[in-house]
Structure 1
Amino acid sequence: MTGRVMVTVPYISTWSEETTERPHRVMDFLGRVAYHDERPSDRDEHGVLWNRITHQPGQGEPQLGKVHSLRQREVMTGLRCQVCAGPADRNQDGVLWLLHDDRGGPDHWPGWPNDMAAVHPPLCLPCARRSVRMCPHLTNTYVAVRVKHHPIVGVYGALYDPRNPHRPLTDAIVAYHHHEIRWTIASQLVRTLHGCHLTNLDDEMGPHRPG
């Protein structure tokens, strides 16, 4: 008899029964990309349009590489763990994030990861430990970072040509204060990371804490 491997599905993952809607897009009287049947819930408190996706967690098969936009926005706003949706870990050095280790790569800069734009929400310590053990994308390629300041600055999403709202130009991170935010359909919330301090998960967990 073969043992069954239990897979932890992150809270922000999309399930196969959850579908992204594709409403007809238009330009509204304010010069913004809009849905022809727009609802108040389609925009956030900054007036940014978000993509529509059904909410059926646990239905079907987990799509581990696909982020559910509204659950990502929920936990990123509340600084909650992207895996279990509980409070992200916080200590005197800041909130805990796991980042791809870009030190020495083409995207590295002095002081990295200070000033980095992040779309991945933070984590609690137990979920961080499980993630680096179970996720092949993190094996030997991650750093754990404590972040003291982490303001919400914008969104990641599809940027449209204001002359043609039917086909996106590109996917991009767009700041709330930038004029292109009017032509963006958001799929993830973005925070920037400041006051960063690299840390060690094993040292933080200690010998008596579960993980």
Structure 2
Amino acid sequence: MGEPRWRLVHPVRQREAMLRGLCQVCARPARTELGFVFLAGPGDYAPHDTVVTACQPPVCPPHAAVAAALCPHLAGDPVVFLAASCPLYGVLGTPYEFDAGELQALPSEGRPVPYGDPRLDWFLASQLARRLRTFTRIDLAEARALGPRARADGLEAPRWAA
């Protein structure tokens, strides 16, 4: 397995974890009976924010504290969301345009582009995004206490290769 490489998100692993609701640490089902646990940095969202878009996959309850302790972005007091509803929203990546006979990369806005947006016609996606709809803010102790993972309809989750 090895050490985490924080800034180098593996696009296939990120996509699989987001699509299948897998823990970003252990690649096993992350769903609890109450929903999914998502982590964000201390300054990523204001306490009153009602719209949250996550590009980082969820974590299972046993790995919430592990991820928070190891990830430099989560240092301090990470924001922990328990999301009962978190549908796929769009993608994060690089926009392109065709100009003067060449394909040119454009600067990224740094925000996910929602599905259905016409900009996606010329867009190279690198990460899936989920919109947290019905969520509550909890702390790491509450996340740990959520209990064992729910089963993923009998599917065995992939184990990330080193």
Tell me the percent identity.
31
In 2, the alpha carbon distance for the partners of 1:108 and 1:125 equals: 23
Greater helix content: 2
| Counterpart in the other structure of 1:108 | 46
Q: 1:162 deviation in Å?
A: 3.4
Aligned counterparts of 1:181 and 1:159: Cα–Cα separation in 2 = 8
Residue correspondence of structure 1 range 28-47 to structure 2 within 5 A? none
**Hey, what's the Cα distance between the residues in 1 that align with 2:131 and 2:78?**
18
Matched, 1:195 2:137: no
- 2:94 is the counterpart of 1:158: yes
Separation in 2, partners of 1:145, 1:121: 12
Q: Cα distance, 1:204 vs. partner? A: 4.2
Structure 2: state its 5+ residue gaps: 149-162
Q: How far apart are residue 7 of structure 1 and its match?
A: 6.1
Give the paired residue count: 144
Question: What residue is the counterpart of 1:125 in the other structure?
Answer: 61
- Taking a change above 3 Å as real, the CA distance of residues 190 and 201 of structure 1, as seen in their structure-2 partners, is same
- Over 3 Å counting, the alpha-carbon distance change for 1:7 and 1:143 in structure 2 is farther
Q: 1:183 aligns with which of 101, 113, 122?
A: 122
The CA distance in 2 between the partners of 1:120 and 1:97, in whole Å, is 8
Structure-2 separation of matches of 1:115 and 1:87: 24
> Which residue of the partner structure matches residue 39 of structure 2?
98
Gap change, CA 1:201 and 1:179, over 3 Å in 2: same
What TM-score comes out, normalization by structure 1 length? 0.60
Which one of 74, 78, 97 corresponds to residue 142 of structure 1? 78
Q: Alpha-carbon deviation of 1:117? A: 1.6
Residue-by-residue CA offset, 1:117-154 (whole Å, 9 max, x unaligned) = 21101001111111222233322141111011111121
Answer with 1 or 2: which has the greater Rg.
1
Picking from 64, 67, 70, the partner of 2:6 is 64
- Aligned counterpart in structure 2 of residue 87 of structure 1, from 29, 36, 41: 29
3-state SS of 1:128 partner: helix
Q: Which runs of 5+ in 1 are unaligned?
A: 1-5, 10-62
Higher strand proportion: 1
Relative distance call for 1:125 and 1:8 in structure 2 (3 A) is farther
Highest RCO, 1 vs 2 (Cα 8 Å, sep ≥ 6)? 2
**What amino acid is the match of 1:82?**
Q
TM-score between the two structures when normalised by the length of structure 2:
0.77
Q: Distance in 2 between matches of 1:196 and 1:146?
A: 5
User: Considering only aligned residues, what root-mean-square deviation do their CA atoms show, in Å?
Assistant: 2.5
| Aligned equivalents of 1:205, 1:115: Cα separation in 2 | 24
How far residue 88 of structure 1 moved from its aligned partner, in angstroms, is 0.8
| CA displacement, residues 38-96 of structure 1 (integer Å, 9 cap, x when unaligned) | xxxxxxxxxxxxxxxxxxxxxxxxx332101111001100011011111114232x211
Q: Which runs of 4+ in 1 moved over 6 A?
A: none
Alignment map for 1:11-26 (pairs within 5 Å) = none
